[in-house]
Amino acid sequence: MTNTVMSYENAAEMGLSAEEFDRVCAHMGRIPNLTELGVFSAMWSEHCSYKSSRRWLKTLPTTGDRVIQGPGENAGVVDIGDGWAAVFKIESHNHPSFIEPYQGAATGVGGILRDVFTMGARPVALLNALRFGAPDHPLTRYLVSGVVAGIGGYGNCIGIPTIGGEVNFNPSYNSNILVNAMAVGLARADRIFYSAASGAGNPVYYIGAKTGRDGIHGATMASAEFNEDAASKRPTVQVGDPFAGKLLLEASLELMDSDSVVAIQDMGAAGLTSSSVEMSAKGGLGMEIDLDQVPVREDGMSAYEIMLSESQERMLVILKPEAAETAREILSKWDLDCAEIGHVTDTGRLVLMKDGALAADIPLAPLVDDAPEYDRPHEQSPALPVIDSGTISTGDSVITVLKTLLASHHLASRRWIWEQYDRDVMADTIASSGGDAALVRVHGSDRGIAVTTDCTPRYVKADPEMGCMQAVAEAYRNISAIGATPIAITNNLNFGNPEKPLIMGQIAGSVTGMGKAAEALGTPVVSGNVSLYNETDGKAIDPAPVVGMVGAMDNVAQSAGIALDTKGLAIFIIGQDEKTNDGWLGCSVYADIMTDNPDAAPPPVDCAIELANGTFVRDQITAGVINAAHDIADGGMLPALAEMILAGGIGADICLPAGGNSHGWCFGEDQGRYLVATDQPDQLKDAAASAGVAATLIGTSGGKALKLTGGDSISIVELKTLHEGWMPDLMAKSPQR
């Protein structure tokens, strides 16, 4: 074992405080060496230990009738019927994607895919939630280009469809973009694989690509603020290989099908460190590893480098003793390394050998069970006023406002982005980007999985608790609008520095709001990720607690889309009665684009109403009464209607209310509402009355324009030009680094 004496300075360089270094020494009973301190720093990083958020995450609802596996494994697992399970998770790759956008985004996709197939599931869908800086910021086009290319490059090459997501632009992300990747897979419910080690003496195998020096201390880097030296952190960004990822996917699934696997774990953040520690700790056992047996790309790699490398496309597997030859044959067939590097022990310690000598000897419990957990001081965000819509409405015509909003960075089409992704590979995509939720068929059946991501950072910044409730509610509406039943949530909590009380207050409020909405809507949180210290030079991002939601359908043929593609359909607003015509314009897209955007409270969320309206819409879609449906969200009712018109190519005649605030009625962002189109209006009205759900007839489909009472109108051609022109125009300019 190296005799190099570690110090407080060494600990600080690895992201550990002086107090944490003292705790390490106490647990070790001595001063740790370099490798040992490196292992502690990775496992105690914010990225791996959730030391600032764990107290709050424990309050989230995580169980339910359909939950097979909640938080604590590589991914969450829920029952979707007929013996099938959906396996899913969302995770961030924020810092790496700012430093090196292509590889940062690509390895984010690769990493989240491994989390899913490590559970024994075949990935069937990818989504993403992206936040970039102001459109006119000099880095924005460069970062958008690189990130989109990285997502497409990995997903397209590995052959998994990228079918949904969201993209926002805001100056708070100028120097700290957010790249959240979500993956969904399918497995038989009785064939889920887990990571807990078992059986002292069982062999530990390394499978996949070789280990290099890329990504060393990536977990620690992801747990720190940025400064002007961000570019110097490029060596901490991993390098992905989607073709090797595809080989690893197929080899891992085949290995699991061969009944050879006791436990399996992806080498993600912190690489071999996290996989060996987590597998051992979950099983209440220990592990001994000979690092000389680890396949490496470079000569002379130290124990520290091997343990902290985050090289991609690697797995750690505990095999049944008799399965060695089977494993080697399978991995050889897929041209991947397969090396026995150690064995399970009953010592409760991680023992590392290198060059025939002891490199590290660490008690496992302190790395996981006794990792720091902080109850950081937190301040509640100041309450903002509820603004009367009439006080901020402009004198512009409704159509003029609609044109402005549709062509803005908030609402303009993201087609330029999602057309770079293969959305149809595997041939089971039913609905993808451009609607409320994506939908994939369970291959060979009528059953389907609906998926979506959602968050409105301006709401969360204004009121963290209510804003995060809204993120859950909108995801719920997205899933309901396609006709699927919402089941469960995965989350990615993106915030600034938790050591600042106001930021910690945002985290606490958001988790509280998420928990309330998830409980009320019956969508427990089964997996997730926390990404903190998203700051540059002390300036934090707008908080973005992204919600990924999964739902299920018995028959995908009964699904609805947003397209208004039939003449003569009656158009209703569900969740709004005829007397509600003022609308909530505070904290809205309208306020941001059309006014000086005064600070204002976001629209409130009533989960009981969300539940009733969502259930009603799903039931009517399944019954064949609703032909098309669309959640009313950013921008309000009229932009949502414009999106339905553009998707189907059929116009609409809309009757504006006789009184009240027409701008609020058209552009207010009141929650719990849907636009639906039906050829059975009487049946819809009767069903709504029976269910106690508000349903207001506002118009009829037909023609080639959106027409409003009073003669104001806009053609579909002009709508399309406005809506789809902004993003290509932005990206046509030369990107800058």
Distance between CA atoms of 651 and 289, rounded to whole angstroms?
66
Tokens of 166: 């969201």
708 phi and psi, to 5 degrees? -115, 155
Within 13 Å of residue 485, how many CA atoms lie on the same side as its CB? 14
> In this structure, how many other beta carbons lie within 10 angstroms of the beta carbon of residue 382?
10
Burial class, 594, CB count within 10 angstroms (exposed 0-12 / middle 13-18 / buried 19+): buried
Distance between CA atoms of 462 and 41, rounded to whole angstroms?
35
DSSP 337: E
Catalytic annotation, pick one of 27, 47, 378, 630:
47
Burial class, 322, CB count within 10 angstroms (exposed 0-12 / middle 13-18 / buried 19+): exposed
15 phi and psi, to 5 degrees? 90, 10
DSSP 434: T
Catalytic annotation, pick one of 27, 93, 409, 630:
93
Three-state SS at 551: strand
Buried b (16+ CB within 10 A) or exposed e, 390-416: eebbeeeebbebbbbbbbbbbbbbbeb
Give the containing element (helix H, strand E) for 334: none
180 phi and psi, to 5 degrees? -110, 125
Tokens of 151: 């997502």
Which residue do the tokens 């089977």 mark? 326
Closest CA to 100 of 236, 267, 243: 236
DSSP 615: H
CA distances, 686 to each of 511, 578, 696 (Å): 39, 16, 12
Distance between CA atoms of 211 and 289, rounded to whole angstroms?
15
Is 93 noted as a catalytic residue in this protein?
Answer: yes
Distance between CA atoms of 311 and 301, rounded to whole angstroms?
13
Distance between CA atoms of 682 and 180, rounded to whole angstroms?
43
Burial class, 690, CB count within 10 angstroms (exposed 0-12 / middle 13-18 / buried 19+): exposed
> In this structure, how many other beta carbons lie within 10 angstroms of the beta carbon of residue 500?
18
Q: Work out the end-to-end distance of the chain between its first and last CA atoms, rounded to an integer number of angstroms.
A: 44
CA Rg, the chain, in Å?
26
SS (H, E, C) 563-612: CCCCCCCEEEEECCCCCCCCCCCCCCHHHHHHCCCCCCCCCCCCHHHHHH
Which residue do the tokens 């019927």 mark? 81
Burial class, 200, CB count within 10 angstroms (exposed 0-12 / middle 13-18 / buried 19+): middle
Tokens of 717: 């051609």
Distance between CA atoms of 90 and 240, rounded to whole angstroms?
18
Give the containing element (helix H, strand E) for 196: none
Tokens of 340: 């026995």
Q: What region does 635 belong to: left with phi over 0, alpha with psi -120 to 50, or beta? A: left
List, by residue number, the catalytic residues: 47, 93
